[in-house]
Amino acid sequence: MHRTRNALIAGASGLVGGHCLQLLLNSERYSQVISIGRRDLPVIHPKLDQRVIDFDNMERYATELAADDVYCCLGTTIKKAGSKDAFYKVDHTYVTKLAEITLQKQASQFLVVSAMGADAGSMIFYNQVKGKMEEHVMELGFETVHIFRPSLLLGEREEHRAGEEFAAKIMKPLQGLMVGPLRKYKPVQAETVAKAMLYAASLNQTGNHIHPSDEIQKMGRKL
């Protein structure tokens, strides 16, 4: 029998993170789930250990961030963040700092939600930031890194995102036409991304792995 492991999740208040947290709590793989965030979530579970932290001073909490598997679902938009610098801080600085600290605390797997089109050399700022984040994480030396690049995320968000909701309405009737090379552009349910993350962690692979959206769809169905 395999020993149970500890998981740490950042961003459990978000769309993918909320689903991921519930899956982690219900998984026999983990005996403890540490959730870090700016505030406590209205979730009670015997395996859940919630810790409120200041992401701008993450180093202060290093001793609290020890886990075997780290699930990073941090992310925002430039509009919500208020500026490009603020967006960069959440989607790059916080993510890479979390990776650095948890690696120092002997985490073996780091699983992170990125985005379709992530490319450090992109002329699009959003894609460039995501790409640079990916490169940084993969260069750190984790035993295993899983990067997930979903297309348009579907699901019920706490906050209103008019642009994404409009895009979802436009894309929904076109999904049946997205076959072959277009399959990777199909919108994906946030819950499917969360399931793909837990499935990937269970594979016990080594090395760096990047999962495009069509692969995420397949992985999510295997859990």
Catalytic residue among 47, 97, 126, 185: 126
Catalytic residue among 89, 130, 132, 184: 130
Dump the DSSP string for 81-93.
HSSHHHHHIIIII
CB neighbour list of residue 219: distance below 8 Å, 6 or more residues apart: 195, 196, 199, 200, 211
How far is the C-alpha of 65 from the C-alpha of 53, rounded, in Å?
Answer: 10
48-52 and 207-212 strand pairing: unpaired
What's the distance, CA 21 to chain centroid? 11
Is residue 126 part of the annotated active site? The answer reads yes
Q: Are 14 and 37 in contact (CB under 8 A)?
A: no
Is residue 130 part of the annotated active site? The answer reads yes
5-10 and 30-37 strand pairing: parallel
188-189 and 153-154 strand pairing: parallel
Q: What are the catalytic residues?
A: 126, 130
